[in-house]
Amino acid sequence: MPHDIDTSQQALERLLNQIRACRCCARVLPFEPRPVVRARVTARLLIVGQAPGTRVHETGIPWNDPSGDRLRLWLGLDRDTFYDDARIAIIPMGLCYPGRTPRGGDLPPRPECASLWLPKLLPLLPQIKLTVLAGTYAQRAYLGNKAKSTLMKTVWDWREYAPEYVPLPHPSFRNNRWLRDNPWFEAELLPMLCEHVQHALRP
């Protein structure tokens, strides 16, 4: 009922305000914490990635980078739909930019976020029909011991998890070679992913 939705949304907004004010990792982060998360209780699709990159940190907009462009292409969504938080929730495993490794890549998402906030957030999203898991950290957290020994094995066996979950490689252009070597991903998985996305978002 609308009243129940309003009450639940108020509870979610209070929690989101707490999350956006979180400073639990401030001493180990390279920049001032800026948790990036989007959700409404009416969301039907949940997108789970790793952690914001520098561009996302600067703008506060999740997936606002070339990886996000590729992810939207994979999902068959335009930007307006992708950022419609009444339909799509975006909750990465780490909510703040974690910094860089000595080799130049991003550090893993901070583990504090998942243990501190996910148990409170997910119960407030009761209408989620499909969860897209982009990357190893998301897959291990949501699939648990059902995840395979490697990310690519998990993606290969995606039918085991659909339609509740669809595991994906991270849409980073660092994975271009793997995508070239595995044409089945675009030929088989992506068409079905788009179908699952449209079905999940259907009123």
| The pLDDT of residue 24 | 95
| The pLDDT of residue 1 | 44
Q: Over the range 109-128, which residues count as b (16 or more CB within 10 Å of their CB) and which as e?
A: bbeebbebbeeebbebbeeb
pLDDT score of 2 more than 70: no
pLDDT score of 90 more than 50: yes
Using DSSP, state whether 72 is helix, strand or coil: helix
Domains of the chain (ranges; CATH) run 2-201 (3.40.470.10)
* Omega cis (within 30) before 163: yes
Q: Are 37 and 70 in contact (CB under 8 A)?
A: no
Band of pLDDT at residue 39, cut at 50, 70 and 90: very high
CA dihedral 51, 69, 45, 8 (to 10 degrees): 60
| The pLDDT of residue 203 | 83
| The pLDDT of residue 3 | 55
In tens, the pLDDT along 127-182 reads: 999 999 999 999 999 999 999 999 999 999 999 999 999 999 999 988 999 999 99
Using DSSP, state whether 166 is helix, strand or coil: strand
pLDDT score of 63 more than 60: yes
